[in-house]
Amino acid sequence: MHVYDILKHWLESASRKRLLYLCHKNADADAIGSAFVLRNRFKGDIGAPECINRVGKTLCKNLEIDVIIDPDVREYDHILVVDTSNPAQLNNPPLKSYVVIDHHATSELRRGAEIFINQRETSTAEIIFKILRGWRSPLTQKDALALVAGVITDTGHLKHATSRTFYNLGRMLSAGRIDYRKVLGIISSTPDDPEMRSEILRSASQMHIHRIMGFTVVCSKLREYTDAAASALVSLGADLAIVGTDDDGVVRLSIRSRRELTSNGLNLGEIMSSLGRELGGSGGGHTAAAGLEAEGDVDELIEICLKTLAEHLTTKL
Ligand SMILES: [Mn+2]
């Protein structure tokens, strides 16, 4: 039997009991959109640890999606984990019966999963789209909106898109009969929140600039919005940006790189995954966008991350 049919059977039987679609923390449009589309076909709750990010919230508001923040996984019989490669991104819950649908380069959730679907698409939304086609389940307008939002945000507004991304996107738009501009309006790239914009500007004004093998690597610290700030610093001209934040001794780093570096073989997701393990924390992500979480001092961890990346730039590129 094809894995999509196995998944369908699993969902049919899981949804007769208590089923949770679980997104990663700080859930984005890709995670929420993917969960939403499956939930439209099978019953269950959608949940995410800690919080939902800005575009995720906008999507929830537009599609009237209720997401349970910090769900107690013990209250569910079955869990479908979407868009997540690492149990730390779920705050390490006790998972019994679970399935994973994900597109990240590395995965620490494979072992123990009843079904593990990991395909190297540019978004989980595209995997969901393929699954629906496999089930011959037509896409509604709302489904398409959710999936297209996932594709656009996960590809950094199509900056990291491949030819297959555009192909999938075109099929999603026409299958759901939706206006691309409408989706763009919903997930506008401009950060609207004034506090967020001033934090991003602060990260630029306080950054340290390093030149390594002809590459410009910048580091900065913020209270929050590290993802948005790291992307913004790359847009400003950095080849690599590391932005860290410290939350009661737990340090989180957001790392972003220019497309050119990743096409030369740099894979931030893999580098952060192994660095995370080395530091007793966790890390992972995509080739050009990754994160790291570990206990310690934010300046020290930024320094360690910088050194690790410098090594890759000097020896591996
Ligand atoms: Mn994703």
What's the 103 CA to ligand 1 centre distance in angstroms? Answer: 7
Q: What pLDDT was estimated at residue 191?
A: 59
CA–CA distance, 207 with 229 (Å, rounded to integer): 11
Q: What is the pTM of this model?
A: 0.76
123 Cα to the center of ligand 1, angstroms: 5
CA of 25 to the centre of ligand 1 (A): 12
Q: List domains and CATH numbers for the chain.
A: 3-186 (3.90.1640.10), 194-315 (3.10.310.40)
Indicate the DSSP class of residue 273: H
CA of 52 relative to ligand 1 center, distance in Å: 13
Contacts 24+ apart (CB under 8 A), 99-104: 99/7, 99/10, 101/7, 101/34, 101/127, 101/128, 101/131, 102/127, 103/127, 104/269, 104/284, 104/285, 104/286
pLDDT at 190: 55
Nearest partner of 151 among 142, 162, 141, judged by Cα: 162
Distance (angstroms) between ligand 1 centre and the Cα of 214 equals 31
State in Å: Cα 58 to ligand 1 middle.
17
Q: Ligand 1 centroid to 283 CA: how many Å?
A: 15
Q: Spell out the per-residue pLDDT of the chain, length 317, in tens.
A: 899 999 999 999 999 999 999 999 999 999 999 999 999 999 999 999 999 988 899 899 999 999 999 999 999 999 999 999 989 899 999 998 999 999 998 888 999 999 999 999 999 999 999 999 999 999 999 999 999 999 999 998 898 899 999 999 999 999 999 999 888 888 875 556 788 889 999 999 999 999 999 999 999 999 989 999 999 999 999 999 999 999 888 999 999 999 888 878 899 999 999 999 999 999 998 889 999 999 999 999 999 999 999 999 998 77
Q: How far is the CA of 95 from the centre of ligand 1 (A)?
A: 21
